[in-house]
Amino acid sequence: MHLIGLTGGIASGKSTVSTLFMQHGVPVIDTDVIAHRLSQPPSTALEIIREVFGPAAIDANGALARDWMRQHVFEHADARVRLEAILHPRILAELDQEIAVLPEPAPYALIAVPLLFEADGFQARVQRTLVVDCSEARQRQRLLNRPGMNEALADAIIASQLPRERRRAYADDVIENDGTIEALADAVARQHQRYLAWTSAGQS
């Protein structure tokens, strides 16, 4: 099966694009869902996170304290590297398991990975890459609508990510998401048809 990596900056609309592709019958594996699963007990990853970051990293329910960790990562330069070293190999292992059971009749599947270009191992598993892109102003506006977000944290998150221009340069395909949901749905439908033509031509 052909695999296409879907990525984009935070609040660019990756989840919405994934949903729109699924409406066309396209299977989607979301590595954020895998990461969330690993962040819930029981999980060996949580045991290691507690050892590395201390008890504050785990909430009262035994899950990853996401708000605390998000703040900690942006206050300590090496914290993200340590957290990703714990989670990424486990995410990749579960991703491979999910790829192995994808429904064969589907001509292609999407693998949604926020750090597709930045993290080791993910891009090697796909044949094409698709970036969802929007202006930084729109990205920031959407991010500020999320619970627990403030301007300083939003700016820090955006600044920590791969610049838009580099992400677009790395991509095989780009979907713009600065307009309406209707415009986005049309863009997804057009891209889906391109991918069907690409897979039927036997390209890799």
Closest of 98, 95, 96, 88 to residue 45, by C-alpha: 88
> H-helix or E-strand containing 139?
helix 136-144
What pLDDT shows up at residue 156?
Answer: 84
57 is annotated as contributing to ligand binding = no
pTM of the model: 0.91
> DSSP per residue over 24-60, as a string?
TT--EEEHHHHHHHHTSSS-HHHHHHHHHH-GGGB-T
Work out the mean pLDDT of the chain and round it to a whole number.
93
Closest of 95, 100, 91, 70 to residue 160, by C-alpha: 70
Q: Which residues of 46-77 are buried (b: 16+ CB within 10 A; e: fewer)?
A: bebbeeebeeebbeeeeebbeeebeebbbeee
What pLDDT shows up at residue 103?
Answer: 85
14 is annotated as contributing to ligand binding = yes
Taking the mean position of all CA atoms in its chain, how far away is CA 146? Answer: 17
Whole-angstrom CA distances from 157 to 122, 144, 193 are 21, 11, 34
12 is annotated as contributing to ligand binding = yes
11 is annotated as contributing to ligand binding = yes
Q: Which residues of the chain have pLDDT under 70?
A: 202-204
What pLDDT shows up at residue 203?
Answer: 58
15 is annotated as contributing to ligand binding = yes
